[in-house]
Amino acid sequence: MSELWDGLLAAGRLLISFDPDLLEIALRSLQVTGVALIVASLIALPLAALLAVRRFRLRRATIAVLNALMGLPPVVVGLVVYVILSRSGPLGVLGLLFTPTAMIIAQVIIIVPLIASVGHQSLRDLWAEYHDLLLSMNTTQRQRIMTLLWDGRRALLTAALAGFGRGIGEVGAIMIVGGNIDHVTRVMTTAIALETGKGDFALALGLGFVLIALAIMVNLAIHWLSQTERGRRW
């Protein structure tokens, strides 16, 4: 129990002193997961809308596979990306291994199924509502997708934030493809793993509390910016 208290104290000390290392890895965590979130959303949200409005033979199978991919172990994703990006691998010439870009790639792969699955579920309900109307107006496929994405944006934001949560707390994949190199690819979660491995539990917990606070702040900021939970205005 004392370790939890020590952890809180460590967190306090880190924050008050504006520890430069802490700022650096916190910023990098946000950068990696933030970019991954944007890229993943650009892939997953239109995919979710497409699956909702378009009927094709393998649709059910695709949705089932997407749901299943949510359970993909991040460390497995990391290994696969490592093998592909390794110098001895097919994309080795790109020299992306052990860079934040590799970490972003791994995180995109991990969070796309999550955002697409959750997004698809809510868009499906919305499509059921809009189906007759949009059909009667001769909308194109593209127009239907855009309408769903815009009108469903609240629920999609929740899906995206779920993806953010998964990404910001992820450690297995980015450890492998990033290498946890000091000042290059070290982020909050890999730093926590490192300190835990060194036996410095207080510092690890401190970093952990800071990470949680960071995630909460991001969520609050997004909600405030998009003015959700505000009466009658959209």
Residues that bind another protein (CB under 8 A): 31, 34-35, 38-39, 41-42, 86-89, 92, 95, 97-101, 104, 126, 129-130, 132-133, 135-139, 143, 147, 151-152, 179-182, 184, 194, 196-201, 232-234
Q: How far is the CB of 197 from another protein (least distance, A)?
A: 4
Q: How far is the CB of 99 from another protein (least distance, A)?
A: 6
Residue among 133 and 220 whose Cβ is closer to another protein: 133
Q: How far is the CB of 110 from another protein (least distance, A)?
A: 17
Residue among 19 and 151 whose Cβ is closer to another protein: 151
Vertex 105, ends 101 and 106: CA angle to 5°? 120
- Which residue carries 């970490």 as its tokens? 103
Q: How far is the CB of 100 from another protein (least distance, A)?
A: 5
H or E stretch including 194?
Answer: helix 188-197
Vertex 217, ends 116 and 182: CA angle to 5°? 85
Q: Which residues contact 149 (CB under 8 A, 6 or more apart)?
A: 45, 46, 49, 123, 156
Residue among 82 and 209 whose Cβ is closer to another protein: 82
Residue among 39 and 157 whose Cβ is closer to another protein: 39
Contact yes or no for 120/63 (Cβ under 8 A):
yes
Residue among 63 and 126 whose Cβ is closer to another protein: 126
- CB neighbours of residue 204 within 10 Å: 21
CA distance 118 to 63: 11
Q: How far is the CB of 40 from another protein (least distance, A)?
A: 10
Candidates 48, 97, 101, 109; CA nearest to 73 is 109
Residue among 8 and 193 whose Cβ is closer to another protein: 193
- Phi/psi of residue 37, nearest 5 degrees: -65, -45
Q: How far is the CB of 224 from another protein (least distance, A)?
A: 19
